[in-house]
Every structure is written in structure tokens, then in C-alpha cells.
Structure 1
Amino acid sequence: MKKGRNAASLLTIALLSVACSSCLLNVPLASRGNRAFRIQALNEKPIVLAIAGNVAGDPTDTWAFNGGNGRPEYSRQKATADIVGQINPDAVLLTGNAQYNDGAYDKYLLSYAPTWGRFQGITHPAIGAHDYDNDGYFRFFGAAAGSPDKTYYSFDLGAWHIVALNSICSKVGVGVGSEQERWLRQDLEANKGKPILAYWFNARFSSGPYGSDSTFQPLWQALFDYHAQLVVNGSDHIYERFAPQGPNGKADPKGIRQFTSGLGGATRYTLGKSVPNSEINFDQNFGVLKLTLSPDAYEWEFIAETGSTFTDKGRQSIEVTPPPLPTPSPSPTEIPSPSPTPSASPIVLAVAGDIAGDPTDWYFNRGEGRPGFFRQKATAEIVRSINPDAVLIPGDVQGWHGTYDSYLLSFDPTWGLFKSITHPAIGDHDYEGDGYFRYFGAAAGRPDKTYYSFDLGGWHLVSLNSIEEEVDVYNYSKQIRWLKKDLAANKGKPILAFWHRPRYCSGKYGNNVAYHDFWQVLYKYHAKLVISGHDHVYERFAPQDANGHADPNGARQFVSGLGGEMIYQFSTISPNSECRYNATFGVLKLTLFPKAYEWEFIPEAGGTFTDKGRQSFD
């Protein structure tokens, strides 16, 4: 079986991991639980995966790390992360060794998090040898890595069933009758009829320095018995594609095709003699394997870093037989059922502003924060527990000066894990440094037009700019004219608007009539919800109009400014304020239905306060 890396290869960096994203934008519904096989499986949309292992270089090896840019043979995690961004996958699979050399948490924050960590919300890791060396793997990936005592798991993506296994034999059994092998067979039995992809660290077959290893034949045998289509491994730092074969290495058109995708960025190994059934292999540049999974086929493409001319791409059709349909019980009288009224699935949002503390401050405390200050890590854990379809940030993403470096050290390792599903509204501090537009890119809008809108489910969402020193917020301004046109084009949809400075608030800054015109336009188009930040408190208002009069047909405002930076005190209680809180940090969870919305404020661990409710509308 594979052993740990030798001293020379300890310069290499660790593997990428994929966590299932619950993102409505590009992320399939793996995190919502496995879906039953459907006869309509051919209607499933293709799923795009980005896969690699041995990803992030050791930041303490200053020469090889080279400020995060690496060298031709070392620490190229930044370049391979750019490939993942280019692929724009539904999910990322890591085939082991995410962070070199020893998987320490501090190294994750400096190397893996600013690069591959951008895709944390959609990453599913398989554990590698170095992932056991320190506390970083389980601490960084959390529940996405499985529990330390059971690091194998499975999930569905589109029509496919995906299985992550543990090949580190010193930690878990891989033989016939082992707990993992029995679990694998039970899992495959429960998912008969679905195309199957399995991935783990140590390879059964390889032309790299570790070679083929029959230790993992029992895992292959179980997958072969259940007609799996694909296996992907990562221990050898090479790229290799095999013809379909059986567990004993005999070519078999009905067998499993294996890929080795171990060129995630840490270091490269040198290929040895090609083993039987190897169709192509490569060791000259780093790169990422792109897989596109359709119900009746899969396509592959190896994408090397900029400057390389090598590629490998192809397509393989598959046949999957659905399990038999259950025989329906006869009924004495057949009564036609009425056709159900089509309805959109509810959309779950996690919402908070004023999030990440200054990493140069004593209160930062190595990212853990202190009571009342810099608790971005704790609130990010709340977001993870909500498992949202999207994250809304009503301003002040990175505290104080908002430099790009502070984003990488404070926001990115925490809330940045949900970057691919995040929609920000610009706040005061977001104008102070270069971080906001550089970090969020197109998701933040253009610097000269920072307001935008989009649809989620049946709802229309609008992000506005309330920083009146930078953009006009009054009637007949360019922004208000755009808002009127946007809402007119989306008549009939329930509307949620979010921006930084609140129209109404009982906190430090109080009510602000400057945003009367925003509210007036939203009221005219029957908006349901408004969310702001700026005041570092939580507050819920009764529905009201633009002049602060209670109105059941008006918009309900929430102030959700307890994202983690610091806490403010309440001042004069504003009319129509129904609920207020400022004892601990927390996140607002909103669930949007076609004809209703639900809210729940979730405080950080240790907080006992909650506020929840439901509002229906016509």
C-alpha cells in the first residue's frame, strides 16, 4: 500500500477538495440529500466537475512558494485554481492531500484558502496521506470532510451517484469484509441503476512512482460488481487515463475507466514505464481534470496550466438500466387525480452584513475573534448550518479599510467559502480599499454601476448602493431611474431589495430619510422585503410605507448587521420596530416561497435568542 511522502517530496502541495455547494447559480443539489433514481433521468442536465489532488504548496517554503505564485515545478495552486474558475464547475472533487506539507490549519489559510478555497462551497474532499498529519483538513473542511472516524461518504449529482472513499490503510480497512467495504456495497445496492463515480487517494493502477497497488482491489471489485463507470485517484502527481478494465487489470469494455488527477499544484512526479491499459499519461505541467457527466455518457478533458500545449479529451457513452418500477396496488375505483399546480421550490438565503474583522488587530486573535469582536468564523459556521442557496451581504464585507490582503486573511477563509453563491451590496468600508471589487469581481457589479438585480426561484432581488457620497440616491437620479425600469420589467414577481444603510433603525445611526425615494419606488411595485446592515444589530420591523406608517401592504425591513465585526448598542426605538437583538453575533435565514416568506435569526453558538415567523401575501 502507499506510504507517506519521502523527504524530498515533502515540498509538494496538497490536493483540492470539493464541497457540495448548495448554490442556486452553478451548484447542483448534492447538499440537499440524495435524490431517488428517476426514469426521467435522461432529462437531467449535465454536471461539470473539476478534479485534482496534491494542491496547495507549503507557504513556509518561501523560495518554492514565491509569494503564492510558485515556481515551474512547485506551489502552482494559484494557476490551477484559475483553471477551476475557467471550468466554472458544479462541483470540485479533491483526490487527497489538499495542503502541503503537513496540512496545518495556518498553512491552509495562507495557501489553499486564497486559491482553491474560493470554491469551498462546492468542494468534496477525499482524504489523503498528509491530510492526517495535522488538524487542518477536518478543521478547514468541517462536515464536508465527513467525521474523523468515518471519512467515506456518498452523494448524488444530477443523475450520477458519487462515492468518496478512504485509502489510507493505516487508518481504515480497505479489504474484503472491512467496515468500509461493507458500507460501500450497501451504498451501491441502495443506488442501483445510477451511473457511479468513485474517487479516493491511492490508485489501484498507476504508471507513476508508486505504481499499481492490489491492496485496493476489493474496492474495485465492489464497484465493478455494481457496474461503476469511473474511478479517479490522486496519490501519484501525474495525469493518466486508462481504458475500461476489471479489478485484475484486464481490459474490459464493461469495466471501469480510471483517471489519475494528481497535478493540482504542489509538485510533479516523473512517470515510469506505462502499465497495461494506460492510454495516455502526462507529467510535464500542472493541470485539472474536467469531467462532464450526462445520464447516458461522460466527457473528459485535461486542462493544463497556461503555456502547456498538452490536452486529452474524449467522450464515452454508457448504458444504465433503471431499477424496476414497483407494482402499484389495485384500487377498486380509478379516480383521476387533478394536475398539480406548478410551484417553484423554496429558496433559502443566509443574510448578514458588517462581517470580517481587521486581521492586523489584537481582537482578530488568529481568526477566532473575541467576545463582541471579529467573530466572522463563528457566523460562517452558521451559514454552513443553514446550507443556503445564496448568501446576501448588505455591505461592509471586510472591516475598516477593506484591502485585498485583509480579505484573503479574514473574509476569504470564513465567509469566502460561500463566495460562488454570494451577492454583495456595497457599504461604506467597501470603498476604502481595493479589496471589494478585486475580490468579488463581476459579482459586485461595475465600479461605476454598483447596483444590479437577479432572479432566485420566483423572486426578483435587487441590490442597491446607499453610499450617497459616491452615488446619488434621490429621485430622478440615474440609480432611481434604473430601479423604476427594472421593477417595471419584473411586475408580478415578489421583490426583495437589499442595501447597506437602513431607512429605518433603532441602532446607533437611527432612521435615514435619504432612502425615502428607494422605499417609495419599491412600495409602488409592491416589494415584500428590504434588508440593510450598517448598524451592527438585528432588528425586524412591521410592514410599512416610505414615510414610516404601518401598512400591511408595505415592505417589511430587517436590519442584519451582526455578521461578526463588532456589536453596536440600541438608541431611540423606531416606530414599527417589532423585535431587536444585539447580545451576540448571528445570521438571518430567509426562506422564500412563491406566496410567502419565513424568517429566522440564528445566533452564534451559546446564544439563546431567536426570532422566527412566516408571512403570506397575495
Structure 2
Amino acid sequence: MRPALPRDKPLRRVAAVSAALLVLLATACTPKPPGPDPNVPDVHIAAVGDMNPDGNSDPETPSGRNGTLIAKLVEKNEIDAFMGLGDFQYSTAHCDDYVNYWLPVWGGTKPKLYWVSAPNHDWEPGRNEDLAKFMDGQCPGSPEKSAINQERGFIPNGEPYSKDFGNWHFAFLSSALWRYDQEAASAATKWLDKDLGDAQKAGKHLAVVYHEPYFTSDTEGHGRADEQKPWIDVMWKYRVRLTLSGSQHNYERSCPVNNADKCVDDGMTAFQVSTGGIDLRPFTSKPKYIAKRFSDTRGFLRLTLHGDGSFDWEFVPTTGTSTDTGTRSAK
């Protein structure tokens, strides 16, 4: 005869099953934190800065070729946004310059244009301050508004703003603030901290657009914009995925880099795309964080941003043969 089971063993089994059910119920009832939905459609972007030389309205110039091709992408609805990275019209641009020169070769990009103003070709207080008016359709002869102005109304040259594209959140900053108004630059730093923090809590992947680059090689014309380090520290704090800038008159892409210039898995991929049409400059230094660069080709950058945080890039050459293509995974 088998020995009798202890009386409390069935009770233990019931208790164990009940505990497991409670864990399952608690898991099911706990709300999941907001996060990106990989099923959200891809976002397609074109980007370039340093666009139109003095007095140019010829569509066959390097500037004209870039403007024409990007305008066709806008017309065919093949991109969701054109990021204008500053220095739209050289050398000191006023309303007449934008209307008579930039508009004939780049005007077709305006319906999907999101812009930042740069020092000093776009904006220098007391010298030339018309870019904000032009983008809002206030210059005589050009009533068309840029995409962001259609959405938000008038935006002053130095005012930061942000915009969501699918699962991606873009912050737009005018690096001119560091040159002209330190107090406003500090205020923009606080704004960026809150803006990126809120977007991160909402589960968005983060990107920042600004004209003068921090992660860059030196040229005879420009070096690193060291004064922008407070912005870079905030970007690193929230693990910004990519940045877009111009200014150097060439093309560069960094490794995923942190705020201490180290290549790290969760760093920022910094694109510097100032190949819109102005004369190109050679490099005079080579930082270790620069993964790809060239200064012999004009063109523009195309990005495809996926809902899971991964993205693809392709530099489209329009004058010259250099290019750059690749993918960054979601991890």
C-alpha cells in the first residue's frame, strides 16, 4: 500500500497556480510604455545646405541641378521633407536676392521645405534679416510659404522649432544664436533639453538639424563650432540618432559618436552636407570620428528613416562621382 500524501500538498499546488495567475494578470494589466511602432510607414528626406552662388539663376549650374532634382522629388511626392541646412543664397541675401536667384532654381522645394537660418549669409542682425520673411511668403514677388511656415506661420530667424515625421522627432536650431545672442543660445539649450526629453518619453527616435557642424574636419574657411558643445551634451543625454548640418562646402559622415568624440554603438551619426552648389573646400584635418568624406562632388543626401529607429542613407551626386551609401541598424 502506498503511503498517504501529506494533506497540505494539494493546497500548495493551488497556491502556486494562483500566484502564477496573479503574475500573469499583473503583467497583462500593466500599461506598456510608449514606443515606436515598426509598422509606421518609412519617412523619406532630402537634405543639403550651402546652395546658391551670387547672382545665379541658371538651372544648368551645380546649384540648379540640385534644386531641380530635389524639386522633382517634391513634385512626385517621393520625399516627405526637404531639410534646408542653411546658407540658402550667397553672399548677403535680401528679399530681392531670394526672389530673383534662389527661387528660380530652388523654389520647387518650398512645399516640403523645413529650414534653419545660418550666420551670416542667411541672417546677421542689422545686415540681412529677410530669410524669415521669404520663408513666410512676405517678400514681394514670392507669396509661397515653406512647409513649416504653412504649418506654424511666421518663424523668426533664430527661433527653434520641432516637428514629428512618423516615429522620428526633428529639432531645428539656428547656430547663428551662438554668434549673435548668447542669452538666446542658452535659452535654446533649455528648450532643446525639454523638447528632446518630451519626445523621448513619447517613444520617438531623435534627430537634430543645425547649420554649423560640431563633428567635422577643419577647412581653411571653418573649423568645429566649439561653442555649440552645450547642445551636443543635450543631444547625447537623450541619445539623438542623427544630426544634419552644413557650412563646410564638402561632405562628411561620422561614426556613431558621443559628446566626447568617441565612436560608440549608441552615438549620433552626424551628416555634414554642404554640397548644394557653392564652391567646394578641401579638408585640412581628419578627426578619428569621421567615417566618410569627400570634397570633389556636389549633390544632396537622401535618408530613409524606419519606424524601428534604423535608417538608410545615400548621397546623390549631381556634379562629380563621389557618393556614400549605408544603413544603420536599430540597435
Q: CA deviation at 1:548?
A: 0.8
Q: Deviations over 1:179-234 (max 9, x none)?
A: xxxxxxxxxxxxxxxxxxxxxxxxxxxxxxxxxxxxxxxxxxxxxxxxxxxxxxxx
* Match in the other structure for 1:358: 54
1-structure distance, mates of 2:85, 2:39: 29
| 1:349 maps to 2:34 | no
Is the contact between residue 218 and residue 284 of structure 2 (CA under 8 Å) also seen in structure 1?
yes
Give the gaps of 5 or more residues in structure 1. Answer: 1-340
* Match in the other structure for 1:482: 191
**TM-score normalised by L of structure 2:** 0.75
Q: The residue matched to 1:511 in structure 2 has which SS?
A: coil
Q: Which structure: greater helix fraction? A: 2
1:499 to 198, 205, 210: 210
In terms of Rg, which structure is larger? 1
1-structure distance, mates of 2:301, 2:251: 9
1:380 to 67, 70, 77: 67
| 1:424 maps to 2:115 | yes
- Mapping of 1:207-246 within 5 angstroms? none
AA partner of residue 70 (structure 2): V
2-structure distance, mates of 1:414, 1:507: 30
Q: CA deviation at 1:510?
A: 2.4
| 1:457 maps to 2:166 | yes
Q: The residue matched to 2:196 in structure 1 has which SS?
A: helix
TM-aligned CA distance change 1:445 to 1:488, over 3 Å: farther
Is the contact between residue 452 and residue 462 of structure 1 (CA under 8 Å) also seen in structure 2?
yes
AA partner of residue 217 (structure 2): S
Is the contact between residue 354 and residue 534 of structure 1 (CA under 8 Å) also seen in structure 2?
yes
* Match in the other structure for 1:470: 180
AA partner of residue 92 (structure 2): H
2-structure distance, mates of 1:345, 1:385: 21
* Match in the other structure for 1:522: 235
1:393 to 55, 59, 84: 84
Q: CA deviation at 1:462?
A: 0.6
Is the contact between residue 426 and residue 450 of structure 1 (CA under 8 Å) also seen in structure 2?
no
Q: The residue matched to 1:416 in structure 2 has which SS?
A: helix
1-structure distance, mates of 2:129, 2:269: 33
1:410 to 91, 101, 122: 101
Q: CA deviation at 1:369?
A: 6.5
1-structure distance, mates of 2:312, 2:48: 16
**TM-score normalised by L of structure 1:** 0.41
* Match in the other structure for 1:437: 132
1-structure distance, mates of 2:168, 2:226: 27
Q: CA deviation at 1:563?
A: 0.8
AA partner of residue 316 (structure 2): I
Q: CA deviation at 1:385?
A: 5.3
- Mapping of 1:99-110 within 5 angstroms? none
Q: The residue matched to 1:349 in structure 2 has which SS?
A: strand
TM-aligned CA distance change 1:412 to 1:474, over 3 Å: closer
TM-aligned CA distance change 1:473 to 1:496, over 3 Å: farther
Q: Deviations over 1:228-279 (max 9, x none)?
A: xxxxxxxxxxxxxxxxxxxxxxxxxxxxxxxxxxxxxxxxxxxxxxxxxxxx
- How many aligned positions are there? 267
Q: CA deviation at 1:590?
A: 0.7
- Mapping of 1:129-168 within 5 angstroms? none
2-structure distance, mates of 1:452, 1:417: 23
Q: Deviations over 1:412-462 (max 9, x none)?
A: 122221102100111011114243011112739632752110101110001
Q: CA deviation at 1:378?
A: 0.9
- Mapping of 1:599-610 within 5 angstroms? 599-605=313-319, 607-610=320-323
AA partner of residue 196 (structure 2): L
AA partner of residue 452 (structure 1): Y
| 1:577 maps to 2:308 | no
Q: CA deviation at 1:368?
A: 4.6
1-structure distance, mates of 2:173, 2:225: 15
1-structure distance, mates of 2:242, 2:183: 19
AA partner of residue 425 (structure 1): V
TM-aligned CA distance change 1:419 to 1:568, over 3 Å: same
Which structure has the higher relative contact order (CA within 8 Å, separation 6+)?
Answer: 2
* Match in the other structure for 1:591: 304
* Match in the other structure for 2:23: none
Is the contact between residue 543 and residue 553 of structure 1 (CA under 8 Å) also seen in structure 2?
yes
1-structure distance, mates of 2:59, 2:39: 42
2-structure distance, mates of 1:356, 1:534: 13
Q: CA deviation at 1:545?
A: 0.9
AA partner of residue 350 (structure 1): A
Q: The residue matched to 2:180 in structure 1 has which SS?
A: coil
AA partner of residue 301 (structure 2): L
Q: Deviations over 1:41-66 (max 9, x none)?
A: xxxxxxxxxxxxxxxxxxxxxxxxxx
Is the contact between residue 38 and residue 307 of structure 2 (CA under 8 Å) also seen in structure 1?
no
Q: CA deviation at 1:514?
A: 1.3
Give the gaps of 5 or more residues in structure 2. Answer: 1-36, 137-147
Q: CA deviation at 1:342?
A: 6.3
Q: Deviations over 1:309-352 (max 9, x none)?
A: xxxxxxxxxxxxxxxxxxxxxxxxxxxxxxxx761111111100
AA partner of residue 500 (structure 1): H
Is the contact between residue 537 and residue 562 of structure 1 (CA under 8 Å) also seen in structure 2?
yes
AA partner of residue 437 (structure 1): A
Q: The residue matched to 1:469 in structure 2 has which SS?
A: helix
Is the contact between residue 158 and residue 173 of structure 2 (CA under 8 Å) also seen in structure 1?
no
Q: CA deviation at 1:528?
A: 0.2
* Match in the other structure for 1:311: none
Q: CA deviation at 1:504?
A: 1.7
- Mapping of 1:520-559 within 5 angstroms? 520-559=233-272
